[in-house]
């Protein structure tokens, strides 16, 4: 490219699009599973697209990665064993391992090329990849959870792409049953749950499948995410039984830095939003 040009991702369900001013394509690889592209932008750093859909930018990925990890880790009483399904860019792994009490974190993503591209173009996300507590697997996350020993995991984080292609099987009762079995009695399941503004029906369906698998208690936490459709995203937490008990004192006293997540942000995300509460209930 001789001068900056605009690239748009159209999002048909919302009748909207997201655009970025880009200067050049940095890299591209066609893995056995999907096409991964890296672009340089004028204002948002590097961009990663998978099959034409925006996955992350240098400038705003911290919003997603922090909210996918810290709310759950500061809700569980004592998280020691964490599993991330997906998450190949390693940003969620980095946030999880900021918690000194975590003894091990396994990241299982089916596509090794996502991690290799992240290491090359988003190295700041991968600075925990060599942490002795980290285990990086490149395998089928559905099979991994199906074979996970019962009652062996404190938190499962499903850091997946949209429910199409390789990620389609991560949004149904069978997968959630595997997560339910692998979690300890006080375990927490977390899944990225798309936009509450235009994809509320997907969150309803997701909770319905989780409920069929045995989960009884849910929280959906919204947060800003400019590079995703509508700019407003969410994660959904599920428990086997009992209420969520947010460790607000520990959150306020955390010994590590975050760019977005704070105790007050966490509490604010738990505040009822009328139209979301009306659709989802508790």
Residues known to be catalytic = 159
In terms of Cα–Cα distance, which of 87, 74, 98 is closest to 157? 87
d(C-alpha 95, C-alpha 65), whole Å:
7
E runs forming strands in 193-259: 217-224, 232-239
Give CA–CA dist 77/42, Å, rounded. Answer: 43
Q: Say if residue 166 carries a ligand binding annotation.
A: yes
Please check if 160 is assigned to a binding site.
Answer: yes
Residue 34, annotated ligand binder? Answer: yes
> Whose CA is closest to 237, among 277, 192, 269, 180?
192
Helix axes 173-182, 200-213, angle to 10 degrees: 50
Instruction: Tell me if residue 31 falls in helix, strand or coil.
Output: coil
162 annotated as a binding-site residue? yes
Which phi and psi angles does 193 have, rounded to 5°? -130, 30
243 carries a ligand binding annotation: no
Establish whether 141 is an annotated binding residue.
yes
**Is residue 159 annotated as involved in ligand binding?**
yes
Q: Is 51 annotated as a binding residue?
A: no
Q: Which residues pair with 40 in a beta bridge?
A: 24, 46
Pick out the residues of the known binding site for S-methyl-5'-thioadenosine: 34, 109, 140-141, 166
The binding site for spermidine consists of: 65, 89, 159-162
């Amino acid at each position: 490219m001789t001068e900056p040009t605009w690239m748009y991702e159209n999002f048909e369900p919302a009748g909207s699009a997201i655009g970025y001013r880009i200067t050049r394509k940095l890299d591209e690889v066609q893995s056995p599973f999907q096409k991964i592209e890296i672009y340089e932008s004028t204002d948002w750093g590097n961009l990663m697209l998978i099959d034409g859909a925006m996955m992350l930018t240098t400038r705003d990925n911290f919003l997603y990665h922090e909210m996918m990890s810290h709310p759950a880790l500061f809700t569980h009483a004592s998280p020691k064993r964490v599993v991330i399904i997906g998450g190949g860019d390693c940003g969620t792994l980095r946030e999880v391992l900021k918690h000194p009490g975590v003894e091990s974190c396994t990241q299982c993503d089916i596509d090794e090329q996502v991690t290799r591209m992240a290491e090359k173009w988003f190295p700041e996300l991968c600075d925990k990849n060599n942490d002795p507590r980290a285990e990086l697997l490149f395998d089928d996350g559905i099979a991994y959870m199906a074979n996970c020993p019962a009652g062996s995991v404190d938190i499962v984080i499903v850091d997946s792409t949209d429910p199409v292609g390789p990620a389609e099987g991560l949004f149904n009762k069978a997968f959630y049953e595997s997560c339910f079995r692998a979690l300890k009695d006080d375990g927490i399941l977390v899944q990225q749950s798309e936009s509450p503004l235009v994809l509320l029906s997907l969150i309803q369906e997701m909770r319905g499948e989780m409920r069929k698998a045995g989960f009884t208690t849910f929280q959906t936490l919204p947060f800003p995410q400019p590079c995703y459709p509508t700019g407003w995203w969410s994660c959904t937490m599920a428990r086997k039984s009992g209420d969520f008990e947010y460790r607000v004192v520990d959150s306020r006293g955390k010994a590590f830095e975050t760019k977005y997540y704070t105790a007050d942000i966490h509490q604010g995300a738990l505040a009822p939003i009328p139209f979301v509460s009306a659709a989802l209930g508790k």
